[in-house]
Amino acid sequence: MLAVAPRRGELFSFDTFRPGMSNDVAHRGRQEWGQGLVNRLKAVFFDIDDTLYSTSQFSKLARINAVKAMVSMGLRMEEDECLRELDEVVREFSSNYQHHFEKFLLRVGEDAYRGLNPAVLVASAVMAYHDTKFKQLQPFEDVRPVLEALGRTDLRVGVITMGPQIKQAEKLLRLDLIGYFDPGAIFISDQIGIGKPNVKLYMKACRALGIWPVEAMYVGDNPPNDVDPPNQLGMATVLVRRGGKYAGVGGATEPDFDIRDLTELPDILRTKFDVNMT
């Protein structure tokens, strides 16, 4: 958490961002779009997890299926108890850790699987997890129509996401959303070497597209990661409150737009940014 609440657009004067760019111009730009006076939006970037699909819901279902698989292979534990233990492993070792199920078995102890090969239990859990991914990964219903509509505009449509590069890229492919994004506008923290909430990640994305931060919008669900940093750069910020795991989390700054799902986005783009949405 930032010690001091950042002012909007305060980091907008990165000399390295564009030679000759002045604080003055930057702030004026932001004020102008804030008043709906200019059409200067050139790109819209999206977060992936809990913005384009329900990460929370998917992970829960995948873990339930993994636990069921281990129990059906002979693990001597109640499913509820397994789930609680597995949730702890994920919390303690992060969701991107590669060996959740091995750690899970270490914790529950050998008595729960004596006579069974732990590798078989782990494999059954991994398979159930992946099967869930193949069958259940779907974007939120409102996502595809909005991305389609954005595709009919002049805006560049991209992604700025946090996570391992192949895992995040796989999500775009499995969700069948990859075709909606500009191939040159997909930015994954792991691939860039800069993670949220570092403003440099957002700055890098804008710079790669050759646009100013005021010319970009960011849409995400996590206030400290998805609202505060782009606000600091002067980007337009949209917080999507779908009720995921950051529903109760507040940031240091307020988003420009606070929406329940993406169906509200076309209207914002039309009325506040003069984007020709059809």
Per CB under 5 A, residues contacting Mg ion are: 47, 49-50, 221-222
Residue with smaller CB distance to Mg ion, 49 or 228: 49
Residue with smaller CB distance to Mg ion, 124 or 168: 168
For the CB of residue 45, give the shortest distance to Mg ion in the complex, in Å.
12
For the CB of residue 199, give the shortest distance to Mg ion in the complex, in Å.
17
Residue with smaller CB distance to Mg ion, 122 or 262: 262
Q: Is 10 exposed, middle or buried (0-12, 13-18, 19+ CB in 10 A)?
A: middle
Residue with smaller CB distance to Mg ion, 118 or 224: 224
Residue with smaller CB distance to Mg ion, 10 or 254: 254
Instruction: Please identify the residue of the shown chain whose CB is closest to the bound Mg ion.
Output: 49
Residue with smaller CB distance to Mg ion, 50 or 215: 50
For the CB of residue 151, give the shortest distance to Mg ion in the complex, in Å.
22
For the CB of residue 47, give the shortest distance to Mg ion in the complex, in Å.
4
For the CB of residue 251, give the shortest distance to Mg ion in the complex, in Å.
13
Residue with smaller CB distance to Mg ion, 218 or 273: 218
For the CB of residue 32, give the shortest distance to Mg ion in the complex, in Å.
29
For the CB of residue 57, give the shortest distance to Mg ion in the complex, in Å.
13
CA distances (Å), origin 150, targets 41, 62, 157, 182, 263: 12, 31, 7, 11, 12
